[in-house]
Amino acid sequence: VGKDLKKAREYYLLSAKQGFAPAQNDYGLSCISEGDFNTAEAEKWVRKSAEQDYAPAQFHLAYFYANGVGVKADMNDFLHWIEKAVEQDYKKAKYMLASFYMTAPEEHRDVDASVTLLKELAAENFTPAINDLIPCYGSGIGTEKNIDSAMHLLRKAVALEYAPALTTLGQAYANPRDVPIEQNFDSAMFYLQKAAAQGYPNAMASIGEMYGRGLGMEKPDLSKAQEWMKKATDRGFSAQQVTQQN
């Protein structure tokens, strides 16, 4: 496999030197994903591609500026390149910009613009955007509060097998709170297991919690609870998150 990756990089570089924008982008990304981690070389080639109006490269260069990869972090340069990719209707860029507008410092925050982008993406079945819109409708963030719309979007994301949505629905069946569904521990475990099968750690932690509390069972199973919590933490679920998990 190592030889194949090395050969692929050689082909990328050959095409990149000939000015082929997709190859320039791919070679640049390979500089930080194949063990070398040469951020300066990555930035150089991704920039060459972005300057040819290749939307994926513009998206990646924006990411570099947002996170200081090969360049000094700069919010204005981030916005410059992400907006160029958005102009080309590049979905990942639209989602990144929507996420930025929702969580940015006050001077850049624009919740209405964020929700507008999320709605555009949701209409195209972009699952992360569908999932992010659920709490917007559920709590009236940047749009009118509408629980029915929130549930519709949740079901839509679940139908697309999106692990975070499967987890949300599983957690809702376990503890409905303000969600208009009836508590059903079998359904909770069903959806959580589907998400866990995709390697989603939040679902694993929720399964661990169900075993730990004996939800839908005759009694708690602490052995299985620990097993699932370990799976979750091994995949990056923090001890603090485990503590906060309902």
Rounded to whole angstroms, how far apart are CA atoms 171 and 220? Answer: 17
Calculate what percentage of the chain has a pLDDT beyond 90: 89
Q: Give, to the nearest 10 degrees, the angle between helix 111-123 and helix 127-139.
A: 130
The pLDDT tens digits of the residues spanning 198-216 come to 999 999 999 999 999 999 9
Rounded to whole angstroms, how far apart are CA atoms 59 and 94? Answer: 9
Is the model's pTM score more than 0.95? no
Q: Is 86 helix (H, G, I), strand (E, B) or coil?
A: helix
The pLDDT tens digits of the residues spanning 103-135 come to 999 999 999 999 999 999 999 999 999 999 999
| pLDDT recorded at residue 242 | 47
| pLDDT recorded at residue 179 | 83
Please report which confidence band the pLDDT of residue 243 belongs to, taking 50, 70 and 90 as the band edges.
very low
Nearby residues of 126 by Cβ (< 8 Å), 6 or more positions away: 91, 95
